[in-house]
Amino acid sequence: MHTFTIVIIAFALLSSLFRILKNKLKLKQRIRHNIGNKVIAFFHPFCDGGGGGERVLWTAIHAIQHKKELSHYTILIYSSDIPKSKKELLAKVKDQFNIVIFEQGLEVVQLKMWKWLEAKRYPRFTLIAQSLGSIIVGLEALWIFIPDIYIDTIGHSFIYPVVNFFFDCVVVAYIHYPTISTDMLKNVKYGMANFNNDKRIAGSAILSNAKLIYYNFFAVLYGFAGYFTNLVMVNSTWTQNHIKHIWRFNFNEPKIVYPPCDTTSMLKIKLNDFKRKLIILSIAQFRPEKNHLLQVKSFKMFLDLNPKFEGKVELILVGSCRNQEDRKRIDDLKTVIMELNLSNAVKIVENAPYSVLFDYLESATIGIHTMTDEHFGIGIIEYMASGVIPLAHDSGGPKSDIVVDYKGEKTGYLACTVEEYASGIKTILELSYRERSKIQLNARNLITEKFSEENFSKMFIDNLSKVL
């Protein structure tokens, strides 16, 4: 008998034995947790966060709880060991997102090993190390409870083969951002320095080639993991295109399900152009990829080319400062602002409460966004809902999904270079009242139809129902 045949038989026997043990473990888990129904589990250890990913999680859970046909499912969340009771967690969800989740039929499982998911633990070979760490955390989750449906809403895909093949669960992935993309490979291949490819590596052919080999190897592993999904949902056309390329062996077409955007209060802002000030507003965390420097340089060029606006237009940068790295970026930005003699025209607002942010959205004329290949861009949605005309980067989600025509009419502007942004600022500020009002109305109509919580819930349930 050939060695290959022996290996196949041994693997088949091992898999059968594993599944028998799995079924016994599953039975014991259900008895221990007193769960008799079918279970839909969400892998989202940071479920108490207040970001867009958490809004997706809780809106999805809310949609399942309100779908009569799914009432027999128990919902389980694999969470970090947050120091909150279930009641406290759901109260926080209500406060953060205005989403009411029923306690009945919801279980929260706390994971002790969630810290293996933190990127800061891996200063070198972060992608592969963090992905291996996710397998450890995923195995802990399955040891505590094996669900019928496993939904990953945080992007840790390396556990999928184990969940799907060995534990026989239906695997559903909602992907906000691919762990590795063709853009990342391209940046390394052509020596392009950016936030995930520093200048030292970009400037060295040897280091670039070594990193390219590493990235290509990781891309193969990432694609292998993606093969073990039964349903893939993505948040934008940009993400869909990258997942289709990297997960080329997965024959399930990634479905675009736009994330839910709560713009209820912003939609109440009157589209009254006369009350708006000559403010260019930026809403973005002070992370390197948000490229605030491009905003400042573009604003400087705009003022140099259009001196009539000197002293009349203000650039306001609103964002959160999370840590010492963010603090250094803000300090460096302030230095540049001072060197460009823009101290009286540029304002940085850190960790602003929602009331302050809302006031700016109510009064600004332009909303600027400068991240290259933003996978979605919820800040741009907030601009458009509020009547702030977007000037966004001509790439990623903003280009393919958000700042697009509505019934053949313009909803905003796109740019790439300093010159294009400076020109875009001038164009928007010189629009007539009628032209500006038309763009505002088109933008609001687009986001109301396309990015509502109702739209997300319907699309999420429709897709999920196909694999239940």
pTM of the shown model: 0.80
Confidence of residue 265 (pLDDT cuts 50, 70, 90): confident
Q: pLDDT confidence of 257, banded at 50, 70, 90? A: very high
- For residues 413 and 190, the model is more confident at 413
Which two structure tokens, joined as six digits, stand for 344?
């009286």
Q: Is 131 helix (H, G, I), strand (E, B) or coil?
A: helix
Q: pLDDT band at 165, cuts 50/70/90?
A: confident
What mean pLDDT do residues 186-208 have? Answer: 60
**Torsions phi, psi for 298 (to 5 deg):** -65, -40
- Residue 399 pLDDT: 94
Provide the pLDDT for residue 428.
Answer: 97
Question: DSSP labels for 393-427?
Answer: ESSHHIIIIIS--BTTB---EEE-SHHHHHHHHHH
- What's the CA dihedral at 436, 437, 439, 445 to 10 degrees? 160
Average pLDDT value for the chain = 87
Residue 279 pLDDT exceeds 90: yes
Look at residue 174 in the predicted model and tell me its pLDDT: 97
Number of helical H runs and strand E runs in the chain: 17, 13
**Cβ contacts of 441 within 8 Å, gap of 6 or more:** 271
Residues 49-105: pLDDT tens digits? 777 788 899 999 999 999 999 988 999 999 988 777 889 999 988 887 889 999 999
Q: What domains can you pick out in the chain, each with its CATH number?
A: 35-260+454-465 (3.40.50.2000), 266-451 (3.40.50.2000)
DSSP conformation letters of 329-357:
HHHHHHHHHHHTT-TTTEEEEES--HHHH
Beta carbons of 364 and 349 less than 8 angstroms apart: no
Torsions phi, psi of 250, nearest 5?
Answer: -90, 120
pLDDT, one tens digit per residue, over 308-367 is 999 999 999 998 887 788 899 999 999 999 999 999 999 999 988 888 888 999 999 999
What is the bridge-based pairing of β-strands 279-283 and 314-319?
Answer: parallel
For 184-222, letters b (16+ CB in 10 Å) and e give bbebbeeeeebebbeeebbeeeebbeebbeebeebbebb
